[in-house]
Structure 1
């Protein structure tokens, strides 16, 4: 965080430029009462010439002498529209512009207040000197003292022996001392020499030279350093430097030293134009001592509006090696679990009311885990053309057409990570087939929506054409003596009817008045059979069976390389209990099942088990807010024949008060191959991909000011902990919070990383140490910061 705590620059009080405040319009203020007129908010008058400002003199006694001097004594005040000067005695020499204030001197301007026993000031030259000033800053809420303040011009002020704190408490927990501070207001720059940060009267940070912004606007200079430690990188520290190059672009250099690996250089460049914007981020380590090689990462994003509904975008991400995120991740699983890095570039057009089109190229960098099984890369799409036409409520009809033309290219095998996946000779360097796919899906529906019920008949036609380079494959890793045909096509009609009703009745839940609903839903789908066994599979997978998919048109997800034949009816039922007064949903129960009228013939790959059951698994879901502080949820996929659960999640969360929450969750997902074919477990070399995990997370007060926070994830399938987080937070009396967070997480099938974060947060200043807040917010459900934010200050904070 930038050293905004040095913003004591506003101590000048009488020198900053006025900030404009927009008046409130009737629209912004809301609907006014009849007969009343909305008045504008307080606002700063700007662009007023000095000669047009009226000056008001107030005192118990006002005297003029023959030399043009005005003497104000007894509660003396000089007021203008932009400033107020007060004192026991004020002498003003009109011919020279000199002002002498003696006794209880005060200057108020732009909500910044400066006081002192005496000061001399020249209103024409805007120079002067204040002895022993105390100041309060309207922009930041900070305050401080100095032995002396010298004003050389409206732009330049120098403070001597400064003590400053952004903490608004009577006894600040932290403050900064510096023997000399120069403030340059037009340049938005302050320069402090030999600055020392004190916490609880103990020095914790020193810098011989500090450059900082004097207003809230951005300013070039060093940012607060961050530091931490991890088992993969050792002790680390980074000292970023920020360059405010222009109002619409900036640059941050981020040198980062890791004791086990060396000095890593990083940079972030951001820019924003009228029709474009983007950012670039990259790191480079010339010689990683632990890995004995150079390591790097870069990410580039750019968007550009070209006019006429045409826009361009670029998103490129690449790393030097598979283990980069495992070795350099700062926030655990959010980065170390990356397996694919996507990149894309292309054009998008939406210049017509009913049409949209795009042309993109997509590539993926696959990050392999050497300790796990080989991960087949995703297909690059080089390129993909998409054209959509849609018009809704056209004489009651909804029409839509989605059209794709995609060239799929499988990346060549990358040596040095795993043995070559296919051992048959003559197949290198290929891993799978390539090809081009043309597809078009056009639908027309006639929604009939009425109060309490709806019926949506829908008919569609799916057209596909493939041109394939098989390279000796008929399926991934499966060499074939006779590859599939070079070109082939497919035409399939798809017909469905979606219907539902909603019934309501008055009821009660836990003794409270409620409205209960009963919502039956029927979805019929008819798709004829087409032999698709010779069609390549580029980006299609078996979809998870859930409530959304149960009412979908295909059991396969992705690019429609397979369209399942269907003659089926999905039956769903939902019942809700809503608070009668607020409408808040207290309880929801849902169930669904498919009924099949014939066997399924289309499978993803030849040899996959064909479904012969007449009914699908049951789907169940329940969620309840048993009280305003206790919540329960549950959903499951259950096989009534084998009495096996194929998928299940459950969780409870309790939030009895602020900064106190506990949650427990359970997740189970059977290997999809077992769901399709239970006998797959007996095949040689089979690796069970079933996932089963328990998670416990929470935040809880241990004492009046001490809080514990953490999360524990345990994989029952792997019989190991995949992530452990434990932290302590101590909320100080005023303006400070200390945190220590330890994290242990899996970065591969065999390796784990342990990291520790420490942070001392000083309200009004920033934080020292690596920031664990993002980690806590992402991983601990219901986490709340113990820090009470300081209220935003305004220009009228000390308005008189």
Structure 2
């Protein structure tokens, strides 16, 4: 299996790199094959537009009758009729005059919407009405054609008897729908069909007494194209989405899905757009999961998702991001559009805010549903009230002033954990000094925090200090300058040097009495704090920890700098940033040695971007831990993107075991190994019709693949089919360390095309497949 997979991936890469670019995009080819309206469109009342008639001979009996024979050419506004014999009849007088054209023996008719060819017909010259027999039709400037025994053409609809329709171009009968009666609604852009038969290359494969089909870009209620496939986890599966166009600003997609190894699952998504906001509400429900690796006694599984964003009453903002699942292994066992097995938690957030030019007030609630095995989870915050005020140029002085204040209430589901109210006040005064050589920002800040803590309800809960006051002053001096030179070692480029020096001082306060002092079972640090990951830009942050419960002491200098290269069009082509913190004293939060920095300096942090040329881009970052005396983090990405969707990306990431263990949250088992992963992603439009995407991520430490995907898609003007195969690592209950289990799956997707203007190759969709989907990691564009 392994050998075959590498052979297939290698073939995909070689085919992509050596394929010849197509001469035109598929969309252009498809639209080139349809009729187009020639000339300038005319608008106005058809009855008021003049009629122009040319013919070899004419017999006139004015004003009621005229007969034209031989190369008859009739034009009126956007309408154009060619035939051999045409009789023009007029009835009524004055404003009530009615004019008709009767044609026989074959004719061709065209306007700005449709082209028609028929045996005989009656055309009302005052309107767009027409009645035609034995007609062939083709839409103008878009795909769609067919035939009918009888056609009733009106202003807003076309009614056909014994008719057919397809979006395929001429001489292509890949698929078509035949119906005893078909009604096409012009403005609404959809067709109703009665006693419809769906045919593939002339062979009937499906019948329905009634059917609706979109014939444009407007949203329509009806069945969408189904998906089917199979996997070692789900068995054979089939899903049939149904789209419900409830209103112009409301719609829903209902998708029943059958999995042979699991049972029936129902997925629903409702989208809305109103004056006070937009969002979607989704739900997934599996009543009785038969999956043998799912060990819970409750076999029903579900997901609830709600995302809402709104601006209302000019200055108010409301944001909701809520996802909840039935169990911790939901995203591991089931595929979902609203989460991934690589996510460690699900967000459940609410926030409403009022904004003014210099301040805002926000009320929020937060909690997380974690998927880790920790016995005690993180705290939920309900409510949290934030106030932020900023003022530049305080009272006719050059001083900048800001205030951040917060009131928050913390609770934990575990009765072992304390509850607390936290009141925080954080005023800041800054003095920015700027001249042509650079700028200095001198900033003074005060952290004033008050805690009211309540012991947990359990008899085994630890005692906590009920009232805590913590006051921490802070001084920061930040110096930056910009030096530019055209005299670089690369001709035609401008180089900048941007050195930066920052001094930060904050005294030490023992904060071990804030929150729980448990060393086991608790997934957290304080009420809402966690150690921040380090990169170049984080070196200049004020605090080592997120949240406000752990504010470490600081007496340190941070030295860093960035160099950039610009071409003669002022486009940034390369940058390199390097920095390190130098500790005058160790940074501490309590008396524990484990929570203190050690040594005279932090890790070296380096980041770089290089736009080699318009096709090649490179990005890399590197950290060297001076305490551990080893590389702690490294990653690099190289991408070749010659045109359009075509790309080849190579990436590598590394994290040392020591770095992982020292940054893991309390209560989590040690990782016991380095992370070394090498990945390659290929996406290529081989021709106008064929597209391929493949990716492979290999764990070099385990010497095994962790995520593999191969997708192939064929696109024509009127249909497409995609085949995808993936294999990725999955979790199993009570699995042994270093033992990997895989989920293997194959999926097939069929789509009718040409009904709208979407002619995408499908590469974007395939790049999102798999656990480790494609990420464009570059900033120089």
The 5 Å alignment of 1:569-580 reads: 569-579=557-567
User: What is the TM-score when the length of structure 2 is the normalising length?
Assistant: 0.80
Is the 1:661–1:782 contact (alpha carbons within 8 Å) kept by the matching residues of 2?
A: no
Q: Which residue of 1 aligns with 2:227?
A: 226
Q: Which residue of 1 aligns with 2:744?
A: 754
Is the 2:331–2:339 contact (alpha carbons within 8 Å) kept by the matching residues of 1?
A: no
Distance 1:715 1:80 in 2: 71
Distance 1:701 1:223, change over 3 A: closer
Is the 1:516–1:578 contact (alpha carbons within 8 Å) kept by the matching residues of 2?
A: yes
Distance 1:151 1:738, change over 3 A: closer
- Is 1:335 the counterpart of 2:340 in the alignment? yes
RMSD: 3.8
Is the 2:696–2:708 contact (alpha carbons within 8 Å) kept by the matching residues of 1?
A: yes
Deviations 1:299-329 (A, max 9, x none): 2334455525234444432222223222221
Distance 1:686 1:286, change over 3 A: closer
Q: Which residue of 2 aligns with 1:709?
A: 693
Q: Which residue of 2 aligns with 1:58?
A: 53
Moved more, 53-62 or 436-445: 53-62
Distance 2:157 2:114 in 1: 17
Determine which of 599, 606, 615 is the counterpart of 2:586: 599
Distance 1:249 1:730 in 2: 33
User: What is the TM-score when the length of structure 1 is the normalising length?
Assistant: 0.79
Q: Which residue of 1 aligns with 2:532?
A: 543
Instruction: Report the alpha carbon displacement of residue 551 of structure 1 after superposing the two structures with TM.
Output: 0.8
Instruction: Report the alpha carbon displacement of residue 258 of structure 1 after superposing the two structures with TM.
Output: 1.5
Distance 1:276 1:43, change over 3 A: farther
Determine which of 50, 66, 70 is the counterpart of 2:66: 70
Deviations 1:721-776 (A, max 9, x none): 321112334566x65554322112233365532221223455415899x9885341
The 5 Å alignment of 1:516-535 reads: 516-535=495-514
Is the 1:496–1:525 contact (alpha carbons within 8 Å) kept by the matching residues of 2?
A: yes
Distance 1:485 1:381, change over 3 A: same
Q: Which residue of 2 aligns with 1:90?
A: 86
Secondary structure of 2:697's aligned partner: strand
In structure 2, list runs of 5 or more residues that go unmatched: 1-33, 92-97, 516-525, 736-740, 777-781
Distance 1:487 1:204 in 2: 76
The 5 Å alignment of 1:10-159 reads: 45=43, 48-49=44-45, 51=47, 53-60=48-55, 63-65=59-61, 68-81=64-77, 83-95=79-91, 97-102=99-104, 105-122=107-124, 128-138=130-140, 141-151=142-152, 154-159=155-160
Moved more, 391-400 or 270-279: 391-400
Q: Which residue of 1 aligns with 2:367?
A: 363
Moved more, 309-318 or 667-676: 667-676
The 5 Å alignment of 1:713-752 reads: 713-716=697-700, 720-730=704-714, 737-748=720-731, 750=735, 751-752=741-742
Determine which of 426, 430, 443 is the counterpart of 1:458: 443
Is the 1:670–1:691 contact (alpha carbons within 8 Å) kept by the matching residues of 2?
A: yes
Distance 2:423 2:177 in 1: 70
Instruction: Report the alpha carbon displacement of residue 152 of structure 1 after superposing the two structures with TM.
Output: 7.3
The 5 Å alignment of 1:185-264 reads: 185=185, 189-198=190-199, 207-264=208-265
Is the 1:174–1:762 contact (alpha carbons within 8 Å) kept by the matching residues of 2?
A: no
Distance 1:128 1:480 in 2: 85
Secondary structure of 1:615's aligned partner: coil
Distance 1:673 1:620, change over 3 A: closer
- Is 1:347 the counterpart of 2:352 in the alignment? yes
Q: Which residue of 1 aligns with 2:609?
A: 623
Secondary structure of 2:456's aligned partner: coil
Determine which of 530, 555, 578 is the counterpart of 1:567: 555
Distance 2:279 2:483 in 1: 51
Distance 1:659 1:228 in 2: 26
Distance 1:284 1:76 in 2: 65
Instruction: Report the alpha carbon displacement of residue 202 of structure 1 after superposing the two structures with TM.
Output: 6.0
Distance 1:684 1:234 in 2: 33
Instruction: Report the alpha carbon displacement of residue 190 of structure 1 after superposing the two structures with TM.
Output: 2.2
Is the 1:99–1:122 contact (alpha carbons within 8 Å) kept by the matching residues of 2?
A: yes
Secondary structure of 2:300's aligned partner: strand
The 5 Å alignment of 1:351-750 reads: 352-368=356-372, 373-374=373-374, 376-392=376-392, 395-412=397-414, 430-471=415-456, 483-507=463-487, 512-536=491-515, 537-556=526-545, 558-579=546-567, 581-603=568-590, 606-640=592-626, 642-655=628-641, 660-670=646-656, 686-688=670-672, 691-699=675-683, 708-716=692-700, 720-730=704-714, 737-748=720-731, 750=735
Distance 1:401 1:282, change over 3 A: same
Aligned pairs, number: 706
Instruction: Report the alpha carbon displacement of residue 590 of structure 1 after superposing the two structures with TM.
Output: 2.4
Distance 1:552 1:175, change over 3 A: same
Deviations 1:239-291 (A, max 9, x none): 22222222222233222112222222232222222223333211223323336
Is the 1:111–1:137 contact (alpha carbons within 8 Å) kept by the matching residues of 2?
A: yes
Moved more, 92-101 or 145-154: 145-154
Distance 2:574 2:277 in 1: 47
Instruction: Report the alpha carbon displacement of residue 217 of structure 1 after superposing the two structures with TM.
Output: 2.5
Instruction: Report the alpha carbon displacement of residue 197 of structure 1 after superposing the two structures with TM.
Output: 4.6
